[in-house]
Amino acid sequence: MRVLVTGDRGVLGTVVRAELEAAGHEVAGFDLADGDDVRDAAALAAAASGQDAIVHLAGLPGDQEDHPDQVMAINVAGTWNTLLAARAAGVRRVVYCSSGKALGMLERDPDYLPVDDAHRGLPSGAYALSKWLSEEMCEAFTRQTGIATICLRPVFVADQAAWKRLRDVPELPPARGSAWHLGVLVDVRDVAAAFAAALACPDPGHVRLLLCAEEIASDRPTAQVVADYLPDVPWRDAAPAAGSRTALADSSAARAVLGWRTRYEWRGRGTPESTN
């Protein structure tokens, strides 16, 4: 498959591109580091011509909240331009890199645990809102065109540098500006595998899929962590069994739609687990 990857020179983009090429795809890149700007609709449309799919990773990251105007202009307008380019090129699907933050994870306590893809959004921060609005655009685009849009929602993404920082800590530290973040984490290599799976899976129409490791990012049992940080939040079904370290973000939809499984869990601190 011929695939255009926007943001292919970024931290996630380089890993995703390598994963797609290893899977046999013919990958073309579109990255600001090469002078390509997703705000340039004409250039993006030209790059999409002749492609079978677009993987849209380009955008400002979540630590750019000091520049909300730029976050909205690049992330939202860039996604809009990507969708227009996909329609003009007649691609079969767009795989969009959203975020767990689209659900407002860091802005308030969740309505229930574990958080799943049906959880309400309503974020307010610029980055989180840009992801939520882009997901809404993707849904409307699929309804109008029939082109599949797969919105992947990775939580905190750990690359090798992050694992090195976290190797000796018992628990994932709070994110900037938040007292707690649900202890959710996913390895960058597992995220890249999800993007490859999103290109290969049967056409799902429009979907939004959380990507999270299956275990909580803590050496403690899940119930103990929740009792300390989120004691008033109800369980969606039953509370986890005693001693269980099940994650507080539910990626079962991604497993069902993509056939995706994680290989890297908190216990291994960046080394493959054999339990999945």
Our count of domains for the chain comes to 1
pLDDT (0 to 100) of residue 274: 46
Q: Tell me the residue range of the domain where 68 lies.
A: 2-157+187-212+249-261
Cα–Cα separations (whole angstroms), residue 105 to 35, 153, 233, 268: 33, 12, 13, 25
**Mean pLDDT to the nearest integer, 214-230:** 95
> Is 121 among the domain residues?
yes
pLDDT surpassing 80 at residue 66: no
Q: CA-CA distance, 22 to 54, in Å (whole number)?
A: 17
Instruction: Tell me 260's DSSP state.
Output: -
**3-state SS class at 99:** coil
How many of the other CB atoms lie within 10 Å of CB of 103?
28
How many of the other CB atoms lie within 10 Å of CB of 164?
12
Q: CA-CA distance, 13 to 254, in Å (whole number)?
A: 20
**3-state SS class at 35:** coil
pLDDT (0 to 100) of residue 122: 80
Amino acid in position 31: D
Q: Give tens-digit pLDDT for 21-64.
A: 999 999 999 999 999 999 999 999 999 999 999 999 999 987 66
> Is 236 among the domain residues?
no
Q: CATH number, domain at 40?
A: 3.40.50.720
pLDDT (0 to 100) of residue 276: 40
> Is 123 among the domain residues?
yes
Orientation angle between helical segments 41-48 and 68-89, nearest 10 degrees:
40
Share of the chain above pLDDT 70, in %: 96
Q: CA-CA distance, 195 to 14, in Å (whole number)?
A: 12
Orientation angle between helical segments 68-89 and 126-145, nearest 10 degrees:
20
> Is 238 among the domain residues?
no
pLDDT surpassing 70 at residue 275: no
Q: CA-CA distance, 2 to 53, in Å (whole number)?
A: 7
> Is 201 among the domain residues?
yes
Average pLDDT along the chain: 94
Q: How confident is the model at residue 178 (pLDDT cuts 50, 70, 90)?
A: confident
**Mean pLDDT to the nearest integer, 121-133:** 92
pLDDT surpassing 90 at residue 65: no
Share of the chain above pLDDT 90, in %: 86
Q: Give tens-digit pLDDT for 128-159.
A: 999 999 999 999 999 999 999 999 999 999 99
> Is 7 among the domain residues?
yes
pLDDT surpassing 80 at residue 102: yes
Q: CA-CA distance, 17 to 14, in Å (whole number)?
A: 5
> Is 272 among the domain residues?
no
> Is 72 among the domain residues?
yes
Q: Give tens-digit pLDDT for 71-94.
A: 999 999 999 999 999 999 999 999
